[in-house]
Amino acid sequence: MPTIKDVASEAGVSIATVSAVINGTRPVSDATRRRVEAVIQRLGYQPNRMAQGLKQGKSRIIAYILPSVTNPFFPSMLKGVEDIAYEADYSVLVCNTEMEPRRINRYSQLIREMQIDGVIITSPGLGVIHELVGCLNQRGITSIVLHGPRSIESVDRVLVDDEECGYLASSYLAQEGHGKIGFIGVCGSTTSWLRYQGFVRGLHSFGLKASEEYVCLGEGFSQQEGHRLGRILLDNQASPTGIVAANDLMAIGLWEAVLEAGLHVPEDVSLIGIDNTLAALLRPRMASVRIPTYEMGRAAAKQLLARIDGSAKGPPMTICLQPELVSGSTITALR
């Protein structure tokens, strides 16, 4: 395999000149640049980016820490991050943590060893995540929260207006004439709590009140929990005619519970999810509130790279993107 020394010898220049042509670290005459580039192409020389990073203190790699690659909510964000990184000639190290502290700690060590330039964090507010951010700050490694823990305020954050998500969902049901509207969400989750607050605000805007008997909270944003909570709601003698699920996965589980109860969607129970990841794939199409995940990923990567190159200055900032309602066939009008 040809080395940078081989390129320099063949082109009749110094190794420093070849490095300058490759990295753009200092001006080189057009004639010399063309000669070096021609030799690089003829020999098939490939620069060792890792070695360059260790030498220069820059790897041109960013890490993206996310909870699970199997949850359809996150790949769209990842694509947004990767598209911006690719345009800027950066690579992305994907750190799939499954929310396990041991995995997070292992990735934290890898980030330090590889001299990663920056880190995007999409993860619940676990204690180990807070420790990671503190460690990154101490080492001067730029980080940004992307739809992650709002309790971290020492770095930039890219979030969605989760309260507006809940507001749009409950308002949709209310304007279609539903008066008994339920909510299933996740206990201890700030995201779920904000969506519930918006849910309540949406009901109030139509003169309705949230009823405790129509609210069920579970352990996670999973299809299984949506199914379990749905069965609890539907077992009530006065079950709701419309239900808001805190995300699409829970809504699908809820849908299964409705069918198992011998009921139909939307004739007996109308339902709506939040995030619009799976809703568009279902037939009939499930109503949902779209979260601009791809756009959020792009915004986070742009802001991170701007911090890395110094074009973004000042105290940590929060970028909040807005959701939008996507109508579907899982809601029927009672008006």
Of the pLDDT bands very low, low, confident and very high (cuts 50, 70, 90), residue 194 is: very high
Q: Answer yes or no: is pLDDT of 50 > 60.
A: no
pLDDT at 152: 87
pLDDT at 5: 86
Residues 37-51 have a mean pLDDT of 76
- CB-based contact 253:227 (threshold 8 Å): yes
| Separation CA 112–CA 99 (nearest Å) | 20
Length of the chain equals: 335
pLDDT at 3: 82
Residues 129-149 have a mean pLDDT of 90
| Separation CA 304–CA 326 (nearest Å) | 30
Of the pLDDT bands very low, low, confident and very high (cuts 50, 70, 90), residue 150 is: confident
Share of the chain above pLDDT 70, in %: 95
Q: Is 330 helix (H, G, I), strand (E, B) or coil?
A: coil
Q: Report the interhelical angle of 127-138 vs 101-113 (nearest 10°).
A: 10
**Beta-ladder partners of 219:** none
| Separation CA 220–CA 169 (nearest Å) | 20
DSSP state of 289: E
Residues 184-195 have a mean pLDDT of 94
Q: Answer yes or no: is pLDDT of 30 > 90.
A: no
3-state secondary structure 294-312: HHHHHHHHHHHHHHHHCCC
Share of the chain above pLDDT 90, in %: 63
DSSP 198-239: HHHHHHHTTT----GGGEEEESSSSHHHHHHHHHHHHHSTT-
pLDDT at 283: 86
Of the pLDDT bands very low, low, confident and very high (cuts 50, 70, 90), residue 49 is: low
On whether the 56-159+293-318 domain is CATH 3.40.50.2300, my answer is yes
- 4-47, which class in CATH? mainly alpha
- 162-291, which class in CATH? alpha beta
- CB-based contact 100:65 (threshold 8 Å): no
Of the pLDDT bands very low, low, confident and very high (cuts 50, 70, 90), residue 183 is: very high
Q: Answer yes or no: is pLDDT of 128 > 90.
A: no
If you average pLDDT over every residue of the chain, what do you get? Answer: 90
* Predicted confidence (pLDDT) per residue in 281-332, tens digit: 888 899 999 999 999 999 999 999 999 999 999 999 999 999 999 999 999 9
pLDDT at 21: 80
Domain 4-47 shares a fold with domain 162-291: no
Of the pLDDT bands very low, low, confident and very high (cuts 50, 70, 90), residue 51 is: low
DSSP state of 247: S
| Separation CA 326–CA 274 (nearest Å) | 10
What's this model's pTM, rounded to 2 decimal places? 0.82
Distance of CA 228 to the CA centre of its chain: 26
H or E element, residue 146? strand 142-146
**Beta-ladder partners of 216:** 184
Q: Answer yes or no: is pLDDT of 15 > 70.
A: yes
Domain-wise residue ranges, the chain: 4-47, 56-159+293-318, 162-291
Q: Answer yes or no: is pLDDT of 25 > 70.
A: no
Residues 72-86 have a mean pLDDT of 94
pLDDT at 215: 95
Q: Answer yes or no: is pLDDT of 22 > 90.
A: no
Which among 146, 1, 158, 142 has a CA at the least distance from the CA of 59? 142
